[in-house]
A and B are shown apart, each in its own frame.
Chain A
Amino acid sequence: MFSKGVMAGLAMAAGLALPTASMAESPTIKTIEERGTMLCSGHNGSYFGFVEVNDKNEWKGLDIDLCRAMTTALLGDPEKAQIVPLSWAQRFPALQSGDVDIIIKATGWTMGRDTELGLQFSIPYFFGGAQFMAHGDLGITEAKDLEGGTICVEAGTTIERIAANYLQSLGVEHTMVSYEKASELRAAYLANRCDSFVAWGPFLAVLRATELDNPDAHVILNDQLSNEPISAAMRQGDEEFVDFTNWMLAALLIAEEEGITSENVQEMAANPPNPKIARLLGTEPGMGERLGIRDTWAREMIAAVGNYGEIYHRNLGDDSPYKLERGLNNLWSHGGVLYAPQLD
């Protein structure tokens, strides 16, 4: 029989030895480092705002920027991100067969995917939900102003039910008109057959920016009717890689919280205003060792792609043609639901 002291000693040794040993063991990170490039999911065409191709034949978009951020953190160079074009149907098999290292492709975190498909998800990096868009000349900004109005919706979708419930709970009298096809729905809204149009928020923003003659004449209302968390998906069984992805996303959020941008990151790293920033940017050691990579990974990443806010504004927000309000996708301190785990 072992004495209690020996048992405790063994437990402590195991507890101390395991985390550091396992941190470097992520098979995915090992593969990426050996290969020298990171394989991310692209799209077979264009998915507005998230995955697009610019005039120089380069990928861009929110999902692409996150892939570049991750690549910079791992390999020190955003150019080492290799975007593999994938269709929607192909993305999960492609991940399982190793054609890509991670799926960052506007993919919702659902129970079925998490359990049956053998995936694991990162913390959500984007929240999309049903929203209303209304003609600007009505002068409204909130759903409660829709009293007595006509609302167009695609028939048979969950959004139809969500919108009806939401307006009922607000006590707003309204007429719901449903259309079988998205194109009919659009035409009806444009022909002023309805005051408002309910659909997935980013979809409304894309529609406003691309198909309406005068984007400024339409308002996306502030109300969020539903909420679908969008996460990065990874193969089951590589917890260290999930940890890395989560802390990569967390670092982007902490950077925004602390006012670190791609512009001022080098200054901040040289003279960190507080210990948290010093630790985040690798001025003080510790950040890298825990994840098994370089201490300066977050600094390099932010210098290359910016903080979460910069990425959002460049691709979906004010600096993009879509002008989609931050809404839920703001930091918790600004009325959104994005927050980072505690950096200790």
Chain B
Amino acid sequence: MATVAMLGNFDWKQFKRRAFSTPANSAITIIVYAVLLWLVWTAINWALFNAVWSAEDVEQCSKEGACWSVIDARYRLILFGLYPFDEHWRSTLACLAIVGTIVLSCFPWTWTAKRLSVIWVVGFAAYYLLMEGGLLGLTQVTTDQWGGLALTLFLFSSVVLIGMPMGLGLALARRSEMPVLRTFASLVIDLIRSLPLLTTLFTAAVVMPILLPSWLEGDKIWRVIIAFGLFFACYQAEVLRGGFQAIPKGQFEAGKALGLTYWQILGRIVLPQVFRHALPATINNVVVTFKETAIVIIIGFFDILASANAAFGTPEWAPYYLEVLIFVALIYWVFLFGLGQYGEYLKRRMKVAER
């Protein structure tokens, strides 16, 4: 929205003054724009006008245009990974459940602890029931068959869901007046932040089963989500700490003077401001986490990038890897651009409070 608004307010007079001030400048402007236009035209030509669209027409594919046949033939693999073919409707509904949960919790109307928790519990239960099955006549599909976009969305939303409260807890503990708690929180945060994410996940997925007794082992996907969530939480704790530091101590003291309890001060005075201050960095953290989920490819999860790799991993489709990667990039873009725009909206909404 902000980007669109910026285009709408484009100052043509200023552009003219700057870009065409001297003949040399005009020439440079024209050349640069001509090249840009040519590039855009070539790209559009390749992607749209010369493209082949259906899987049956794959013979017509050439270097001139994109061969979207590969998407037509393989989109199910990209979106759902190795999930059983006949059960893809379940994976589709599960994706919608997660996206619905995320979208719903973006509306300010839902921002009470009760509503949010109901939405998330229902959303996740729906996702899990649909994907795992084993109930209500749905055949069971174990987590090692989950994949594609459905898995990426699940990983991302579980990590954020687990990591956000943990991050808040860690941030509070780090500011606590109890030395033991404070030291413990600092230790955890500094330890985990000094380990690479890859190592953390590899340990959770591969080394843990060797160390843990089998009754504590659990499913690989949950070990990875908890480790990833902890990683997210440590970064989020530091982001929130910045927010806490921006709030004058006097507010806390004023609250105490009014006879409010610790939790009342926190919930009604401090936290709303903390979140506002920490918002840009939080959105940043969330966006990075969405992209970082692709790391799970290393521990054998079939996330969207791994399934894209498998999609162009047969000889008949291998020449069209670019089309597959562009398709996956578009999916990432839709989600992350949406997230970024939502951040902008939140910022504007919160400015109202500051006025």
Residue ranges of A at the interface with B (Cβ–Cβ < 8 Å)? 42-48, 52-59, 82-87, 89-90, 93-94, 96-99, 206, 209-211, 320-322
Q: B residues 263-322 with Cβ under 8 Å of A?
A: 297-302, 306-307, 309-316, 318-319
Q: Which of B210, B310, B312, B315 contacts A97 (CB 8 A)?
A: B210
Question: Contact: B144 with A53, CB < 8 Å?
Answer: no
Q: Which of B85, B206, B310 contacts A94 (CB 8 A)?
A: B206
Q: How far is the CB of A271 from chain B (nearest CB, A)?
A: 39
Q: How far is the CB of B23 from chain A (nearest CB, A)?
A: 42
Stretch of B27-35, B76-84, B182-190, B227-235 that contacts chain A: B76-84
Q: How far is the CB of B212 from chain A (nearest CB, A)?
A: 10
Question: Contact: B76 with A57, CB < 8 Å?
Answer: yes
Question: Contact: B302 with A210, CB < 8 Å?
Answer: no
Chain A interface main SS type:
loop
Q: Which of B77, B220, B300, B318 contacts A211 (CB 8 A)?
A: B318
A32 and B76 alpha carbons, distance in the complex (Å): 31
Question: Contact: A45 with B297, CB < 8 Å?
Answer: yes
Question: Contact: B206 with A97, CB < 8 Å?
Answer: yes
Q: Determine whether B66 belongs to the interface, using a CB cutoff of 8 Å to chain A.
A: no
Q: Which of B85, B144, B315 contacts A84 (CB 8 A)?
A: B144
A–B Cβ pairs within 8 angstroms, 25 of them: A42-B300, A44-B298, A44-B300, A44-B302, A45-B310, A48-B313, A48-B314, A48-B315, A52-B310, A53-B311, A53-B313, A57-B77, A85-B82, A85-B147, A85-B306, A86-B300, A87-B298, A90-B202, A93-B206, A93-B210, A96-B210, A99-B220, A206-B315, A211-B319, A321-B316
Question: Contact: B318 with A210, CB < 8 Å?
Answer: yes
Q: How far is the CB of A285 from chain B (nearest CB, A)?
A: 37
A265 and B299 alpha carbons, distance in the complex (Å): 40
Residues of A within 8 A of B85 (CB): 56-58
Q: Which of B81, B147, B209, B316 contacts A99 (CB 8 A)?
A: B209
Q: Determine whether B225 belongs to the interface, using a CB cutoff of 8 Å to chain A.
A: no
Question: Contact: A53 with B77, CB < 8 Å?
Answer: yes
Residues of A within 8 A of B319 (CB): 210-211
Question: Contact: B298 with A90, CB < 8 Å?
Answer: yes
Question: Contact: B209 with A97, CB < 8 Å?
Answer: yes
Residues of B within 8 A of A45 (CB): 297, 306, 309-310, 313
Q: Determine whether B205 belongs to the interface, using a CB cutoff of 8 Å to chain A.
A: yes
Question: Contact: B300 with A90, CB < 8 Å?
Answer: yes
Q: How far is the CB of B143 from chain A (nearest CB, A)?
A: 11
- What residue of chain B has the Cβ atom nearest to residue A47's Cβ? B313
Are A85 and B77 also in contact (CB < 8 A) when A52-B314, A209-B315 are? no
Question: Contact: A90 with B205, CB < 8 Å?
Answer: yes
Question: Contact: A85 with B210, CB < 8 Å?
Answer: no
Q: Which of A43, A57, A90, A321 contacts B299 (CB 8 A)?
A: A90
- Size of interface on B: residues with Cβ below 8 Å to A: 37
Going nearest first, the 3 A-B pairs with the smallest beta carbon separation are A46-B313, A45-B309, A210-B318
A99 and B2 alpha carbons, distance in the complex (Å): 48
A56 and B314 alpha carbons, distance in the complex (Å): 12
A94 and B316 alpha carbons, distance in the complex (Å): 31
Question: Contact: B313 with A85, CB < 8 Å?
Answer: no
Q: B residues 218-274 with Cβ under 8 Å of A?
A: 220
Residues of B within 8 A of A93 (CB): 206-207, 210
Q: Which of B220, B297, B318 has the most CB of A within 10 A?
A: B318
Question: Contact: B209 with A98, CB < 8 Å?
Answer: yes
A207 and B12 alpha carbons, distance in the complex (Å): 52
Q: Which of A43, A84, A210 has the most CB of B within 10 A?
A: A210
Q: B residues 298-351 with Cβ under 8 Å of A?
A: 298-302, 306-307, 309-316, 318-319
Q: Determine whether B73 belongs to the interface, using a CB cutoff of 8 Å to chain A.
A: yes
A211 and B63 alpha carbons, distance in the complex (Å): 12
Residues of A within 8 A of B310 (CB): 43, 45-46, 52-53
Question: Contact: B80 with A57, CB < 8 Å?
Answer: yes
Question: Contact: A53 with B301, CB < 8 Å?
Answer: no
Q: B residues 69-94 with Cβ under 8 Å of A?
A: 73-74, 76-77, 80-85
Residues of B within 8 A of A47 (CB): 313
Residues of B within 8 A of A55 (CB): 73-74, 77
A84 and B319 alpha carbons, distance in the complex (Å): 27
Are A321 and B300 also in contact (CB < 8 A) when A53-B77, A93-B206 are? no
Are A57 and B82 also in contact (CB < 8 A) when A45-B309, A46-B310 are? yes
Are A87 and B297 also in contact (CB < 8 A) when A57-B77, A57-B83, A97-B210 are? yes
- What residue of chain B has the Cβ atom nearest to residue A98's Cβ? B209
Residues of B within 8 A of A42 (CB): 300
Q: Which of A83, A87, A321 contacts B315 (CB 8 A)?
A: A321
Residues of A within 8 A of B314 (CB): 46, 48, 52-54
Are A94 and B300 also in contact (CB < 8 A) when A57-B82, A99-B220 are? yes
Question: Contact: B299 with A87, CB < 8 Å?
Answer: yes
- What residue of chain A has the Cβ atom nearest to residue B205's Cβ? A90
A44 and B147 alpha carbons, distance in the complex (Å): 11
Question: Contact: B309 with A46, CB < 8 Å?
Answer: yes
A97 and B213 alpha carbons, distance in the complex (Å): 11
- What residue of chain A has the Cβ atom nearest to residue B74's Cβ? A55
Q: Which of A52, A82, A87 contacts B300 (CB 8 A)?
A: A87
Q: How far is the CB of B128 from chain A (nearest CB, A)?
A: 20
A94 and B206 alpha carbons, distance in the complex (Å): 6
A48 and B317 alpha carbons, distance in the complex (Å): 11
Residues of B within 8 A of A97 (CB): 206, 209-210
Q: How far is the CB of B65 from chain A (nearest CB, A)?
A: 16
- Chain B 78-113, CB-CB to A under 8 Å as 1, else 0, gives 001111110000000000000000000000000000
Residues of A within 8 A of B205 (CB): 90
Q: Which of A43, A83, A86 has the most CB of B within 10 A?
A: A43
A206 and B316 alpha carbons, distance in the complex (Å): 11
- What residue of chain A has the Cβ atom nearest to residue B144's Cβ? A84
A322 and B316 alpha carbons, distance in the complex (Å): 11
